Structures are given as C-alpha cells and as structure tokens.
Amino acid sequence: MTKTVQYLTIDPEFAGQRIDNFLVTRLKGVPKSHIYRILRKGEVRVNKKRIDPSYRLQAEDSVRIPPIKTDLPKKPITPSQKLTQTLTDRILFEDERVLIINKPSGIPVHGGSKVKIGLVEILKTMYPKHPNLELAHRLDADTSGCLIFAKKRSALRELHELLRSGKVSKQYLALTKGHWSQKELKVDVSLQKNILSSGERIVKVNKEGKESLTIFKPVQTFDDATLVEADLLTGRTHQIRVHAQYRKHPIAGDEKYGDRDFNKSMKEKGLKRLFLHSHHVSFTLPSTGLKISVTAPLDEELKVFLEQL
C-alpha cells in the first residue's frame, strides 16, 4: 500500500501510451476496476487536470497517483534457476530493442489466479535493466514457438503498428485431423470472441465478427492426420485453432476446439500437449531498417511423436 500521493514525470519512452494502460502496468496487484474508479473520480491527475482513461501520455507530463492499496504478495515470486536457464537457452534473437524466444508449451504469457508467474514476469526478473519489457503479441499457454517482446516503449509502438498493418509474417506448424483437400486450404471467415461467465474465452465463426484469414499448406501426411503450415494473415484470438475446426480438421491435443476421439487416439500414440507451434516470424523495424527473421525448431517431444507416427 502506498500511504502518500505519488508524483511521476513521464519519460519519453512512455509517450503515446494510454494512461489506463500505464497505470495497469505501474500498479501491479491493483484490480483494473479500481484503476478505472480512481480515474473516473479524478484522483489521478495529469498536469493537475482530470483526464479520461483514453488520454495518451506526453513526455514530461506530471502524473499524480493517489494513495492506493495493492494485493501483491509480501514476498515477490521468483522463477527457479532451472526455468531461467531454460528460457535463456531458448532465446532466438536479441538486441537492445527486441527479444524473441522459443516459448515452451505449458507456460502462460502472464501470471494470474491459477498460475502466479508468467513469461512476462519471469523475463522482467531476468532483465532488471529493462523494466519496460513487454509482450508485442500473445501465444496461448499450450502453444510453443516464436514470441516477440519489446525492451523499449518505442519498439513496442513500432511492433504494434507492424502487427496492425499486417507487416509481421507469422507461420505456425500444426498437426491436424484427416487429410486436406485443395479447396479447404484458404479459410476466410470472420471470428467473434466471447467471454463466458467463468471468464473463459471462447471464439466462434460469426459473420458479425472480425475478418480473419488463414492459409494452410500440407507439409507431411500420415494415416489419419496431416502436419500443416498455417500462414496467419490476421491475428485473432485462437484463429488457427478455430479455422482448423471450421474445416473439420481440428488440431491434435486441442481440448477446447478439438475432436475428442482424435485427441484420444493421438494421446494413446504419445502426444501429451497441443500440437501447435509458432514456427517462423519475420519483420523489419522502421527505426533501424533491420530485417529480423527467426525460426523456432519443433520441440524434441513433437519431433519424436512425428517419427512415431
């Protein structure tokens, strides 16, 4: 709990960020509902004035934050040395602005009620000199492969703009049920995200949703399954999983959108996880002109499983 009013001067790195997002990051452990309440009541001031949650910060802004209670644990949660070393070994690219890792399956990108620490929190302990390190995009907890982080706010803005404008090339590998025909390979159907009362996200094909386009390409065919490369041309939540399900070729090991019998068959043959892997990403940062292109090899357990098939 902060017992006194805080006054912060905004660093140029945070220029352009919305005040609500800035406070969510700054006030760890404070519920979003409380952050929006103190904004609405005018307890947060910028340059001594009330502001809307959508206000975008400017360099040298003076931000007043009222005394506030947090729900953070008394002792910070730290990752094990083994986990830290695992992530270090899985770094695919790193410079002063960008970090790309081959994310392990089973680790969420953010900590929550069920998992106390996620990749973002782990990496911040590994990179204390980069407190502004943030995710540029997301991967589901069970998905492995290329995951992009920005070390600086300016790099994060660049990456978000590249992602919005479709200038980040992303290819995934997925093991899917059955065999694909040529006419099934292009999936251009809109998706709508819904939040259930439990808080779980579920995505469905719906013409009222957001435009979504995935191109599938068969890589290797097995008796009752096909390894495909999925070219993600839009970045919707669960896009590849739902598009594969829509074509009646659900992904192996997908407990939410998959086929129960197919999953059971794959599990009996040794598959212990969702077979979805972010295989390749490439993009060019406008500020440096540097083209970044990385490939994340399949995890050994997936390679062994394919050999068994």
Q: Could you tell me the two tokens for 209?
A: 């949703």
Under a CB-based contact definition with an 8 Å cutoff, are residues 86 and 43 in contact? no
Counting Cα atoms < 13 Å in the Cβ hemisphere of 71 gives 9
pLDDT reported for residue 104: 95
Q: Which residue type, as a one-letter code, is found at position 104?
A: P
Query: pLDDT (tens digit, 9 = 90+) per residue, 137-186?
Result: 989 999 999 999 999 888 998 999 999 899 999 999 999 999 999 999 99
pLDDT reported for residue 197: 58
pLDDT reported for residue 294: 97
Among the listed residues 20, 61, 140, 231, the single catalytic one is: 140
Position of tokens 């790195």? Answer: 13
Sheet of strand 49-50: strand arrangement: 6-9, 62-65, 45-46, 49-50
Asked whether the domain spanning 165-308 has the same topology as the one spanning 6-65, the reply is no
- CATH 3.10.290.10 holds for 6-65: yes
pLDDT reported for residue 270: 95
pLDDT reported for residue 2: 57
CATH number of 81-159: 3.40.50.1820, 3.30.2350.10, 3.60.21.10, 3.40.50.10190? 3.30.2350.10
pLDDT reported for residue 193: 86
Q: Could you tell me the two tokens for 18?
A: 């919305």
Contacts of 277 (CB under 8 A, 6+ apart): 143, 144, 145, 172, 173, 174, 296, 298, 299, 302
Position of tokens 């251009």? Answer: 188
Can you give the residue ranges of every domain in the chain?
Answer: 6-65, 81-159, 165-308
Query: pLDDT (tens digit, 9 = 90+) per residue, 95-125?
Result: 999 999 999 999 888 765 556 678 888 898 8
pLDDT < 70: residue spans in the chain: 1-3, 70-77, 111-116, 196-199
Angle between helices 32-40 and 19-26 (to 10 degrees): 130
Look at phi and psi of residue 125 and say left if phi exceeds 0, alpha if psi is from -120 to 50, else beta.
alpha
- CATH 3.40.720.10 holds for 165-308: no
d(CA 134, CA 99): 10
Contacts of 18 (CB under 8 A, 6+ apart): 53, 54, 55, 56, 57
Residue 68 DSSP code: B
140 is catalytic: yes
Cα–Cα distances in Å, from 18 out to 9, 125, 153? 15, 25, 12
